[in-house]
């Protein structure tokens, strides 16, 4: 099929008229002056602040509900308490766990939890109002913990 130059020119003129007619409203809208508004006005700052506060409140509220319903960490109604922990390797640690009136020294590793010793005399917990300086690396619970660990290690080696 052969197209003559005159037909090609008339077709291109028709296409240009159609395109110009279709884009005229867009061009008129783009040429209209935009009213000057302050994008960061007091109303938008207030809306942003209230929205952020609502999101933060929702996060804390859901966390509180989940802790109450499922007993997630941070819940005060637990039957077990972790009295003390001590890392003994890159992924291993030992801990004293209290269940009721009984305290147990356990070894924790990535694939295993093992009871090391059941304590006859409980290790003292830190009282709620006590100063944390008394329970440092040289404090009484830490030294007793180290003594128990050394005793268990000696029994395992022999």
Q: Residue 123 has what pLDDT?
A: 80
Convert the pLDDT of each residue in 42-91 to its tens digit.
888 899 999 999 999 999 999 888 877 765 555 555 678 888 889 988 88
Of 6-15, 39-48, 112-121, which range is least confident?
A: 6-15
Burial bucket for residue 36 (CB in 10 Å: 0-12, 13-18, 19+)? exposed
- How large is the C-alpha radius of gyration of the chain? 37
Q: What span, in angstroms and rounded, lies between the C-alpha atoms of 31 and 27?
A: 6
Given a contact cutoff of 8 angstroms between Cβ atoms, the answer to whether 82 and 65 are in contact is no
Q: How confident is the model at residue 152 (pLDDT cuts 50, 70, 90)?
A: confident
Q: Residue 94 has what pLDDT?
A: 92
Q: Average the pLDDT over 105-120 and give the result.
A: 91
Convert the pLDDT of each residue in 125-151 to its tens digit.
655 544 444 444 555 667 777 787 888
Q: What span, in angstroms and rounded, lies between the C-alpha atoms of 139 and 123?
A: 12
């Amino acid at each position: 099929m052969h197209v003559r130059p005159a037909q090609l020119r008339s077709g291109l003129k028709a296409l240009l008229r159609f395109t110009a007619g279709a884009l005229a409203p867009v061009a008129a809208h783009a040429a209209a002056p935009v009213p000057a508004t302050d994008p960061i006005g007091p109303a938008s700052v207030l809306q942003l602040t209230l929205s952020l506060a609502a999101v933060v409140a929702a996060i804390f509220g859901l966390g509180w509900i989940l802790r109450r319903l499922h007993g997630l960490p941070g819940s005060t109604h637990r039957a077990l308490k972790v009295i003390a922990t001590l890392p003994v390797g890159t992924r291993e640690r030992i801990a004293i766990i209290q269940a009721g009136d009984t305290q147990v020294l356990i070894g924790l590793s990535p694939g295993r939890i093992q009871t090391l010793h059941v304590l006859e005399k409980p290790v003292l917990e830190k009282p709620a109002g006590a100063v944390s300086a008394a329970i440092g690396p040289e404090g009484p619970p830490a030294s007793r913990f180290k003594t128990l660990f050394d005793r268990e290690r000696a029994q395992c080696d022999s």
